[in-house]
Structure 1
Protein backbone atom coordinates (compact mmCIF):
# COMPACT_ATOMS: atom_id res chain seq x y z
CA UNK A 1 0.00 0.00 0.00
CA UNK A 2 1.24 3.45 -0.89
CA UNK A 3 0.33 6.93 0.26
CA UNK A 4 -2.17 8.38 -2.16
CA UNK A 5 -2.04 11.96 -3.45
CA UNK A 6 -5.05 11.59 -5.75
CA UNK A 7 -8.47 12.35 -4.30
CA UNK A 8 -10.41 9.99 -6.59
CA UNK A 9 -8.30 6.93 -5.79
CA UNK A 10 -8.41 5.16 -2.42
CA UNK A 11 -5.45 3.69 -0.52
CA UNK A 12 -5.75 0.45 -2.54
CA UNK A 13 -5.75 2.24 -5.92
CA UNK A 14 -9.49 1.83 -6.49
CA UNK A 15 -11.89 4.50 -7.75
CA UNK A 16 -13.22 6.63 -4.91
CA UNK A 17 -15.92 9.28 -4.81
CA UNK A 18 -14.57 12.17 -2.73
CA UNK A 19 -16.42 12.86 0.52
CA UNK A 20 -17.52 16.50 0.42
CA UNK A 21 -19.66 16.25 3.55
CA UNK A 22 -17.27 18.40 5.59
CA UNK A 23 -17.26 21.26 3.07
CA UNK A 24 -19.44 24.32 3.57
CA UNK A 25 -22.18 25.27 1.15
CA UNK A 26 -21.11 28.04 -1.23
CA UNK A 27 -22.45 29.72 -4.33
CA UNK A 28 -20.45 28.07 -7.09
CA UNK A 29 -20.26 29.05 -10.73
CA UNK A 30 -18.34 27.83 -13.76
CA UNK A 31 -18.11 29.02 -17.33
CA UNK A 32 -16.93 26.93 -20.27
CA UNK A 33 -16.73 27.31 -24.01
CA UNK A 34 -15.96 25.59 -27.26
CA UNK A 35 -16.54 25.94 -30.96
CA UNK A 36 -17.29 23.93 -34.03
CA UNK A 37 -15.79 24.76 -37.40
CA UNK A 38 -18.34 24.50 -40.22
CA UNK A 39 -18.41 25.01 -43.97
CA UNK A 40 -19.77 28.28 -45.34
CA UNK A 41 -22.78 26.37 -46.73
CA UNK A 42 -23.59 24.92 -43.31
CA UNK A 43 -23.28 28.32 -41.63
CA UNK A 44 -25.69 29.75 -44.21
CA UNK A 45 -28.20 26.93 -43.66
CA UNK A 46 -28.10 27.54 -39.90
CA UNK A 47 -28.35 31.32 -40.31
CA UNK A 48 -31.38 30.96 -42.60
CA UNK A 49 -32.92 28.26 -40.36
CA UNK A 50 -33.02 25.87 -43.33
CA UNK A 51 -31.43 22.82 -41.71
CA UNK A 52 -33.76 19.82 -42.18
CA UNK A 53 -33.57 18.79 -38.52
CA UNK A 54 -34.74 22.21 -37.28
CA UNK A 55 -33.39 25.24 -35.42
CA UNK A 56 -29.82 24.13 -34.79
CA UNK A 57 -28.77 26.79 -32.29
CA UNK A 58 -31.88 26.59 -30.12
CA UNK A 59 -31.81 22.80 -29.98
CA UNK A 60 -28.09 22.81 -29.15
CA UNK A 61 -28.73 25.24 -26.29
CA UNK A 62 -31.52 23.06 -24.88
CA UNK A 63 -29.35 19.93 -25.24
CA UNK A 64 -26.53 21.65 -23.37
CA UNK A 65 -28.82 22.62 -20.51
CA UNK A 66 -30.15 19.07 -20.28
CA UNK A 67 -26.59 17.73 -20.31
CA UNK A 68 -25.52 19.99 -17.44
CA UNK A 69 -28.34 18.53 -15.35
CA UNK A 70 -27.28 14.96 -16.18
CA UNK A 71 -23.53 15.26 -15.65
CA UNK A 72 -23.40 13.02 -12.58
CA UNK A 73 -25.07 10.29 -14.65
CA UNK A 74 -22.38 10.58 -17.33
CA UNK A 75 -19.16 11.13 -15.35
CA UNK A 76 -18.80 8.29 -12.82
CA UNK A 77 -17.33 10.12 -9.81
CA UNK A 78 -19.19 13.43 -10.14
CA UNK A 79 -21.52 14.40 -7.33
CA UNK A 80 -25.18 15.05 -8.02
CA UNK A 81 -25.70 18.80 -7.66
CA UNK A 82 -28.73 21.01 -7.28
CA UNK A 83 -28.12 23.31 -10.22
CA UNK A 84 -29.71 26.73 -9.79
CA UNK A 85 -28.83 28.04 -13.27
CA UNK A 86 -27.67 26.49 -16.51
CA UNK A 87 -27.17 28.79 -19.45
CA UNK A 88 -25.96 27.83 -22.91
CA UNK A 89 -25.48 30.39 -25.68
CA UNK A 90 -24.70 29.37 -29.25
CA UNK A 91 -23.62 32.09 -31.65
CA UNK A 92 -22.72 31.95 -35.31
CA UNK A 93 -19.20 33.18 -35.98
CA UNK A 94 -17.29 33.47 -39.27
CA UNK A 95 -15.87 29.94 -38.98
CA UNK A 96 -18.86 28.13 -37.40
CA UNK A 97 -20.55 28.28 -34.00
CA UNK A 98 -19.18 29.50 -30.67
CA UNK A 99 -20.73 27.91 -27.56
CA UNK A 100 -20.53 29.55 -24.13
CA UNK A 101 -21.96 28.02 -20.97
CA UNK A 102 -22.54 29.16 -17.41
CA UNK A 103 -23.66 26.86 -14.60
CA UNK A 104 -24.40 27.81 -10.98
CA UNK A 105 -25.33 25.92 -7.84
CA UNK A 106 -25.36 26.28 -4.10
CA UNK A 107 -23.33 23.36 -2.91
CA UNK A 108 -20.21 21.79 -1.51
CA UNK A 109 -18.37 21.16 -4.78
CA UNK A 110 -17.85 22.99 -8.06
CA UNK A 111 -19.84 22.90 -11.27
CA UNK A 112 -16.99 22.92 -13.79
CA UNK A 113 -17.81 19.43 -15.06
CA UNK A 114 -21.41 20.52 -15.63
CA UNK A 115 -20.31 23.59 -17.60
CA UNK A 116 -17.88 21.53 -19.70
CA UNK A 117 -20.49 18.82 -20.29
CA UNK A 118 -23.01 21.45 -21.39
CA UNK A 119 -20.54 22.88 -23.91
CA UNK A 120 -19.56 19.45 -25.22
CA UNK A 121 -23.12 18.22 -25.69
CA UNK A 122 -24.21 21.48 -27.33
CA UNK A 123 -21.37 21.02 -29.84
CA UNK A 124 -22.25 17.36 -30.38
CA UNK A 125 -25.85 18.38 -31.04
CA UNK A 126 -24.73 20.85 -33.70
CA UNK A 127 -22.58 18.11 -35.20
CA UNK A 128 -25.51 15.69 -35.25
CA UNK A 129 -27.88 18.20 -36.81
CA UNK A 130 -25.41 19.20 -39.53
CA UNK A 131 -23.70 15.90 -40.39
CA UNK A 132 -25.87 15.29 -43.46
CA UNK A 133 -24.54 18.44 -45.16
CA UNK A 134 -21.06 18.88 -43.67
CA UNK A 135 -18.58 16.01 -43.53
CA UNK A 136 -15.61 18.10 -42.33
CA UNK A 137 -16.82 19.64 -39.06
CA UNK A 138 -14.25 20.05 -36.30
CA UNK A 139 -15.10 20.56 -32.62
CA UNK A 140 -12.30 22.37 -30.83
CA UNK A 141 -11.16 24.50 -27.94
CA UNK A 142 -13.53 23.03 -25.35
CA UNK A 143 -12.26 24.55 -22.11
CA UNK A 144 -13.07 25.82 -18.66
CA UNK A 145 -13.00 29.60 -18.79
CA UNK A 146 -13.76 30.49 -15.20
CA UNK A 147 -14.58 28.89 -11.86
CA UNK A 148 -15.71 30.84 -8.80
CA UNK A 149 -17.09 30.25 -5.34
CA UNK A 150 -18.58 32.69 -2.88
CA UNK A 151 -19.49 32.21 0.75
CA UNK A 152 -23.18 32.39 1.47
Structure 2
Protein backbone atom coordinates (compact mmCIF):
# COMPACT_ATOMS: atom_id res chain seq x y z
CA UNK A 1 0.00 0.00 0.00
CA UNK A 2 1.28 3.46 -0.87
CA UNK A 3 1.44 6.20 1.76
CA UNK A 4 0.96 9.76 0.43
CA UNK A 5 2.46 12.81 2.12
CA UNK A 6 3.62 16.34 1.38
CA UNK A 7 7.17 16.50 0.03
CA UNK A 8 9.79 18.01 2.31
CA UNK A 9 13.19 19.55 1.68
CA UNK A 10 14.85 16.21 2.45
CA UNK A 11 12.92 14.71 -0.50
CA UNK A 12 14.09 17.21 -3.11
CA UNK A 13 17.08 15.34 -4.54
CA UNK A 14 15.34 11.96 -4.67
CA UNK A 15 12.18 13.42 -6.23
CA UNK A 16 14.20 15.34 -8.83
CA UNK A 17 16.09 12.21 -9.83
CA UNK A 18 12.83 10.21 -9.92
CA UNK A 19 11.38 12.76 -12.33
CA UNK A 20 14.45 12.59 -14.57
CA UNK A 21 14.35 8.75 -14.65
CA UNK A 22 10.60 8.57 -15.20
CA UNK A 23 10.50 11.23 -17.91
CA UNK A 24 13.51 9.68 -19.66
CA UNK A 25 11.83 6.27 -19.53
CA UNK A 26 8.62 7.69 -20.96
CA UNK A 27 10.20 9.91 -23.59
CA UNK A 28 13.46 8.29 -24.64
CA UNK A 29 12.35 4.68 -24.55
CA UNK A 30 8.94 5.20 -26.12
CA UNK A 31 9.51 8.21 -28.36
CA UNK A 32 12.82 7.90 -30.21
CA UNK A 33 14.28 11.21 -31.17
CA UNK A 34 12.97 13.01 -28.06
CA UNK A 35 15.89 14.44 -26.16
CA UNK A 36 15.55 16.38 -22.92
CA UNK A 37 17.56 19.56 -22.73
CA UNK A 38 19.82 20.53 -19.81
CA UNK A 39 17.20 23.19 -18.97
CA UNK A 40 14.51 20.49 -18.77
CA UNK A 41 16.63 18.40 -16.40
CA UNK A 42 17.30 21.47 -14.24
CA UNK A 43 13.56 22.18 -14.08
CA UNK A 44 12.77 18.58 -13.12
CA UNK A 45 15.37 18.71 -10.37
CA UNK A 46 14.29 22.11 -8.99
CA UNK A 47 12.00 20.73 -6.30
CA UNK A 48 12.58 23.47 -3.70
CA UNK A 49 11.01 26.06 -6.01
CA UNK A 50 8.11 23.74 -6.81
CA UNK A 51 7.39 23.18 -3.11
CA UNK A 52 7.28 26.97 -2.63
CA UNK A 53 4.85 27.48 -5.53
CA UNK A 54 2.66 24.37 -5.33
CA UNK A 55 1.60 21.30 -3.42
CA UNK A 56 4.11 18.55 -4.10
CA UNK A 57 3.04 15.11 -2.95
CA UNK A 58 5.18 12.00 -2.73
CA UNK A 59 4.15 8.40 -2.31
CA UNK A 60 6.11 5.73 -0.51
CA UNK A 61 5.79 1.96 -0.63
CA UNK A 62 7.57 0.24 2.25
CA UNK A 63 9.58 3.43 2.83
CA UNK A 64 10.72 3.61 -0.81
CA UNK A 65 9.88 6.65 -2.96
CA UNK A 66 7.37 5.33 -5.48
CA UNK A 67 6.06 8.46 -7.15
CA UNK A 68 5.22 12.15 -7.07
CA UNK A 69 2.73 14.70 -8.35
CA UNK A 70 2.54 18.51 -8.23
CA UNK A 71 -0.63 20.58 -8.15
CA UNK A 72 -0.71 24.37 -8.51
CA UNK A 73 -3.46 26.64 -7.22
CA UNK A 74 -4.95 29.19 -9.59
CA UNK A 75 -2.73 32.29 -9.63
CA UNK A 76 0.37 30.50 -8.36
CA UNK A 77 3.60 30.98 -10.24
CA UNK A 78 4.08 27.84 -12.31
CA UNK A 79 0.38 27.17 -12.83
CA UNK A 80 -0.13 26.75 -16.55
CA UNK A 81 -3.92 26.30 -16.39
CA UNK A 82 -5.85 28.08 -19.13
CA UNK A 83 -9.35 27.68 -17.60
CA UNK A 84 -10.11 30.57 -15.25
CA UNK A 85 -9.80 29.55 -11.58
CA UNK A 86 -8.41 26.10 -12.34
CA UNK A 87 -5.64 24.11 -10.74
CA UNK A 88 -2.66 23.06 -12.83
CA UNK A 89 -1.30 19.52 -12.70
CA UNK A 90 2.34 18.81 -13.49
CA UNK A 91 5.13 16.38 -12.77
CA UNK A 92 3.25 13.12 -12.24
CA UNK A 93 5.89 10.42 -12.19
CA UNK A 94 6.05 6.85 -10.96
CA UNK A 95 9.34 5.13 -10.20
CA UNK A 96 9.73 2.74 -13.16
CA UNK A 97 9.95 -0.35 -10.93
CA UNK A 98 6.47 0.50 -9.55
CA UNK A 99 4.92 1.02 -13.00
CA UNK A 100 1.75 -0.93 -13.69
CA UNK A 101 0.64 -1.03 -10.05
CA UNK A 102 -2.09 1.66 -10.42
CA UNK A 103 -0.20 4.20 -8.30
CA UNK A 104 -1.04 6.94 -10.82
CA UNK A 105 -4.71 6.40 -9.97
CA UNK A 106 -4.01 7.14 -6.30
CA UNK A 107 -2.08 10.32 -7.15
CA UNK A 108 -4.74 11.55 -9.57
CA UNK A 109 -7.53 10.92 -7.06
CA UNK A 110 -5.64 12.88 -4.41
CA UNK A 111 -4.99 15.76 -6.83
CA UNK A 112 -8.69 15.86 -7.72
CA UNK A 113 -9.65 15.90 -4.05
CA UNK A 114 -7.19 18.71 -3.34
CA UNK A 115 -8.39 20.82 -6.30
CA UNK A 116 -11.99 20.33 -5.18
CA UNK A 117 -11.04 21.54 -1.69
CA UNK A 118 -9.69 24.69 -3.38
CA UNK A 119 -13.05 25.01 -5.19
CA UNK A 120 -11.31 24.90 -8.55
CA UNK A 121 -13.71 24.36 -11.46
CA UNK A 122 -11.22 22.13 -13.28
CA UNK A 123 -7.67 20.82 -13.43
CA UNK A 124 -5.59 21.51 -16.54
CA UNK A 125 -2.49 19.71 -17.74
CA UNK A 126 -0.38 19.31 -20.83
CA UNK A 127 1.06 16.11 -22.26
CA UNK A 128 3.78 15.78 -24.87
CA UNK A 129 2.23 15.07 -28.26
CA UNK A 130 2.93 11.47 -29.17
CA UNK A 131 2.98 10.24 -25.56
CA UNK A 132 -0.04 8.08 -26.32
CA UNK A 133 0.17 5.92 -23.18
CA UNK A 134 0.24 8.98 -20.93
CA UNK A 135 -2.68 10.52 -22.81
CA UNK A 136 -4.64 7.25 -22.43
CA UNK A 137 -3.97 7.28 -18.68
CA UNK A 138 -5.58 10.70 -18.31
CA UNK A 139 -8.55 9.98 -20.58
CA UNK A 140 -9.25 6.79 -18.63
CA UNK A 141 -9.53 9.01 -15.54
CA UNK A 142 -12.05 11.39 -17.13
CA UNK A 143 -9.78 14.03 -18.66
CA UNK A 144 -10.93 15.54 -21.95
CA UNK A 145 -8.71 16.71 -24.78
CA UNK A 146 -8.80 20.52 -24.74
CA UNK A 147 -7.12 22.20 -27.71
CA UNK A 148 -7.31 25.57 -25.94
CA UNK A 149 -4.41 24.36 -23.80
CA UNK A 150 -2.16 23.22 -26.65
CA UNK A 151 1.32 24.70 -26.50
CA UNK A 152 3.50 24.78 -29.61
CA UNK A 153 7.17 25.09 -28.68
CA UNK A 154 8.41 23.36 -31.83
CA UNK A 155 10.96 22.40 -32.92
CA UNK A 156 11.61 21.22 -29.33
CA UNK A 157 8.16 20.16 -28.14
CA UNK A 158 4.42 20.30 -28.80
CA UNK A 159 2.11 19.81 -25.83
CA UNK A 160 -1.54 18.75 -26.00
CA UNK A 161 -3.96 20.26 -23.46
CA UNK A 162 -6.30 18.22 -21.27
CA UNK A 163 -8.93 19.35 -18.77
CA UNK A 164 -10.73 17.52 -15.98
CA UNK A 165 -13.95 19.32 -15.05
CA UNK A 166 -14.73 19.25 -11.37
TM over 0.5: no
Structure number, greater radius of gyration: 1
